[in-house]
Structure 1
Amino acid sequence: MKRSFLTLVVFSLVITIFLVACSKDESTDHENMNHSSNTKQKETSHEDMDHDETTSTSKEDNTTVEFSFKGEHEGGKQIPLNIQVNNKKGQPIKDFEVEHEKLMHLIVVSKDLSHFDHIHPDYKGNGLFTVTPNFPSGGEYKLYADFVPIGASKTVKSELVTIEGNKAKNTPLTEDEELTKVVDGKEVTLKLDHLMTGMDLTMTFTIKDAKTKQPINNLQQYLGAVGHVVAISGDTESYLHVHPMEEKATGPNAKFMTSFPKSGLYKIWGQFQQDGKVFTIPFTINVP
């Protein structure tokens, strides 16, 4: 009887040690999985915030934007534009984060992407921004308002508007055969590694003096970074606003990481500053 009782005690002790050991192992694995998952989610959210057209983190997009002109909107004239930001209940959103030195970035492109402008509306309070864009001629233009409400995600709202007046000749979008261009005395070469839809890639702009071919190493901060890149698909439905990987770089290389959501033609504008002057370099690529 004593031997049976002793055997039962020993058996129970062995089972208890085994269960404790298993529980410890499972707990360790679970913690590691959570750490890996959270890190990946944070990286994905940061990447999305850098260049996605719409809100792309877990926070719900609660914003609406109304674009309205003050008076007749005709090409070649000064046309004040109001941009009113509200929540979905129609109440003004009053507070915004400063992103790259501005509360709002407004990108204006013609429908054929031949015209590009990157401007910064003035905030008047109570959700109202005002600006006077440059519409050089009549026709269709796409507006992208890029901002971050306090406590919410990065948001981009777009609007297709028609400007009255004589229309410029439509310029078909075609892929650039060479990714080296000269603008404002600078020779700029664009290099893209493993160009593929939905895959992260690095865009590298290399900037030289067009005459001497010497690397330019004195790029200045433009809106708090070495440069900014905007890419828009040929149908104007996909919008990417990309910030540099090394914001404090001064050249001759400026690197940006992004991914293209779908295949097709994209026009890319790189913007940099030297000697107090901003220069813009456009390229058109075909994403397979």
Structure 2
Amino acid sequence: MKRVTIAVLLAAALLTACSKTEDHSVHGGVQSTAPEGHGQHGAGGSAISANDIKAIWKTGDGKAQAKQDIRLSVEIQDQSGKPVQSFDTNHEKKLHLIAVSKDLSYFSHIHPDYKGDGRFDVTTQFPAGGDYKLFADFIPTGGSAMTKSEWINVAGDAAKQVPVRADDSLTKSADGKEVTLAFDKLQASKEATLTFTIKDDRTKSPITNLEQYLGAVGHVVILTEDAEQYLHVHPMEEKASGPEAKFMTTFPKSGVYKIWAQFQHEGKVLTVPFVVKVP
């Protein structure tokens, strides 16, 4: 998987933010955006919600520079500034970090190390200059699953911008695999089942030995084209091994969405992007 210079979500003094931090929450295994300061409670109501938590981002030295290693730290605190000390393990990690470029052409899913006292560190890179958005998923012990996000700017030569347009075909070839995405229905505010079918790209034989990736047959991240609405979706049958992997989610509004599906086969993680238009 590519490394991201997540130099990112900034320490206010060290990076230039492009917009305010957003709060998100997770419900029923599907992560969705929530208005800032409004977190959803888990089953039975949790003591800690997204409204109670803030993330402080810092880079090691100065502004993030494209194609250069940079150490990123994110500190998870309560609203009084006290570090959150304990986090639940969620799909084998205490924190998942998703980084995307503004045009959504770049995607990375990485995992900072927990250093204690609410701090997570990672050394990574950004591929080009420009604006990036970072999403940090985590569960403070005793609270609901939540996400903190931030826009950041990275110095360096910018990559050519790629328009976010709905795909003509929902069959993609990547790393020797053919992956097809199908929906039972595709409509805003309606529950939808996403079915990914994975085959060998050359022989078209179904792949039935997918490996567990972060404790599941696969993971799916979905963003609106402006990166303001975020969904992190887990499979309906986590121990499935292919050729089908099914996920269920609800697209919150009409519009264009980019979908990244991740699977693991023969020790290699496969990331396959799709773009759909939701009526």
Describe the superposition over 1:224-282 as per-residue Cα deviations: whole angstroms up to 9, x where unpaired.
Answer: 00000000110100111000000000000000000011111111000000111101000
Unmatched segments (≥5 aa) in structure 2? 1-25
CA separation of 1:221 and 1:131: change in aligned 2, threshold 3 A: same
Contact between 2:27 and 2:40, CA under 8 Å: does it hold in 1?
Answer: no
Contact between 2:32 and 2:230, CA under 8 Å: does it hold in 1?
Answer: yes
2 CA distance for matches of 1:170 and 1:241?
Answer: 25
**Where does residue 127 of structure 1 map in the other structure?**
118
Residue identity in the other structure for 1:125: G
Describe the superposition over 1:71-125 as per-residue Cα deviations: whole angstroms up to 9, x where unpaired.
Answer: 1310111111111100011100010000000000000000110000000010000
2 CA distance for matches of 1:67 and 1:263?
Answer: 32
Alpha-carbon shift at residue 126 of structure 1 (Å):
0.0
Unmatched segments (≥5 aa) in structure 1? 1-44
1:132-281 to 2 correspondence within 5 Å? 132-281=123-272
2 CA distance for matches of 1:261 and 1:70?
Answer: 37
1:42-81 to 2 correspondence within 5 Å? 46-47=27-28, 49-54=29-34, 55-57=39-41, 58-59=45-46, 60-61=49-50, 62-71=52-61, 72-81=63-72
Larger Rg: 1
| More contact order relative to length (CA 8 Å, sep ≥ 6) | 2
Q: Which has the higher strand share?
A: 2
2 CA distance for matches of 1:141 and 1:46?
Answer: 26
Residue 70 of structure 2 aligns to a residue in which SS? coil
Contact between 1:242 and 1:257, CA under 8 Å: does it hold in 2?
Answer: yes
2 CA distance for matches of 1:270 and 1:133?
Answer: 22
**Where does residue 115 of structure 1 map in the other structure?**
106
Alpha-carbon shift at residue 56 of structure 1 (Å):
2.1
Describe the superposition over 1:111-170 as per-residue Cα deviations: whole angstroms up to 9, x where unpaired.
Answer: 110000000010000000011233100000000000000000011000000000111111
Contact between 1:67 and 1:159, CA under 8 Å: does it hold in 2?
Answer: no
1 CA distance for matches of 2:170 and 2:85?
Answer: 43
CA separation of 1:196 and 1:267: change in aligned 2, threshold 3 A: same
1 CA distance for matches of 2:117 and 2:177?
Answer: 42
CA separation of 1:139 and 1:46: change in aligned 2, threshold 3 A: closer
Contact between 1:183 and 1:279, CA under 8 Å: does it hold in 2?
Answer: yes
Contact between 1:200 and 1:257, CA under 8 Å: does it hold in 2?
Answer: yes
**Where does residue 18 of structure 2 map in the other structure?**
none
Q: Percent identity?
A: 52
Residue identity in the other structure for 2:147: V
CA separation of 1:171 and 1:81: change in aligned 2, threshold 3 A: same
Q: Once superposed, what is the RMSD of the aligned Cα atoms?
A: 1.1
Alpha-carbon shift at residue 46 of structure 1 (Å):
4.4
Per the normalisation by structure 2, the TM-score is 0.85
